[in-house]
């Protein structure tokens, strides 16, 4: 083996300083490489967290938009006295617009109840109305104080007068099961 004291004796002072400097530079290089690797990992995690945060803000915006739409509907749904048939409501709206005599028939249909909500539906046939009356009728249904939904909607113009329409629509009254 070799003796350290003997090796020290053989190396002059200048060489020892150079060796210590080289060792210090190697240690500094290793430290910089390790630190750079650690910083790179932290930056990658930070970028991933920023992407998650951005996705969260997108979801939050969607939620706020959807809840702004759903809040008035929920308010309508929870009004008292909503159970029953939508027939008198449709007749009331038609009477207010002066088209009650144009409402020719009602045909009840079944709709599945979901999670404590009752859905009462009718298919209404309205004959001989103008587009303005139809727009006001649909507006009256959608903005009624209780929650009314139009599921299916079909309209045909008449052959004898293309400005007059016959409409068939399914209207559902949704109410909370008590």
Instruction: Say if residue 125's pLDDT is above 90.
Output: yes
DSSP output for 95-111: HHHT-GGGEEEEEEEE-
**pLDDT digit string, tens, across residues 54-110:** 999 999 999 999 988 888 777 776 666 555 778 888 888 888 888 889 889 899 887
Q: What's the average model confidence in pLDDT over 40-65?
A: 93
* Interacting residues of 69 by C-beta distance below 8 A, sequence separation 6+: none
d(CA 25, CA 23): 5
pLDDT of residue 11: 67
Instruction: Say if residue 13's pLDDT is above 80.
Output: no
β-pairing verdict for 165-176 and 103-110: unpaired
pLDDT of residue 109: 80
pLDDT of residue 53: 94
Instruction: Say if residue 1's pLDDT is above 60.
Output: no
pLDDT of residue 143: 86
Confidence grade of residue 20 (pLDDT, cut at 50, 70, 90): confident
Phi, psi values for residue 8, rounded to 5°? -60, -40
Question: Hunting for tokens 């929920």 — which residue is that?
Answer: 74
pLDDT of residue 79: 67
Instruction: Say if residue 177's pLDDT is above 60.
Output: yes
pTM equals 0.58
Q: Output the average pLDDT for the chain.
A: 84
Domains of the chain, by residue range, sit at 4-76, 87-176
Say which CATH class 87-176 falls into. alpha beta
């Amino acid at each position: 083996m070799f003796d350290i004291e003997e090796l020290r004796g053989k190396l002059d002072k200048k060489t020892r300083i150079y060796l210590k400097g080289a060792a210090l530079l190697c240690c500094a290089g290793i430290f910089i490489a390790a630190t750079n690797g650690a910083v790179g990992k932290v930056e990658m995690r930070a970028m991933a967290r920023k992407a998650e945060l951005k996705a969260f803000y997108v979801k939050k915006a969607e939620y706020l938009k959807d809840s702004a739409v759903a809040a008035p509907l929920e308010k309508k749904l929870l009004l008292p006295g909503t159970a029953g048939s939508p027939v008198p409501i449709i007749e009331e709206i038609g009477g207010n617009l002066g088209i009650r005599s144009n409402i020719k028939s009602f045909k009840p249909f079944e709709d599945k109840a979901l999670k404590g909500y009752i859905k009462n539906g009718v298919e209404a046939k309205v004959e001989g109305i103008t587009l303005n009356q139809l727009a006001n009728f649909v507006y009256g249904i959608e903005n009624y104080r209780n929650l009314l939904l139009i599921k299916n909607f079909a309209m045909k113009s008449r052959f004898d007068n293309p400005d007059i329409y016959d409409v068939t629509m399914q209207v559902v009254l949704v109410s909370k099961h008590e």
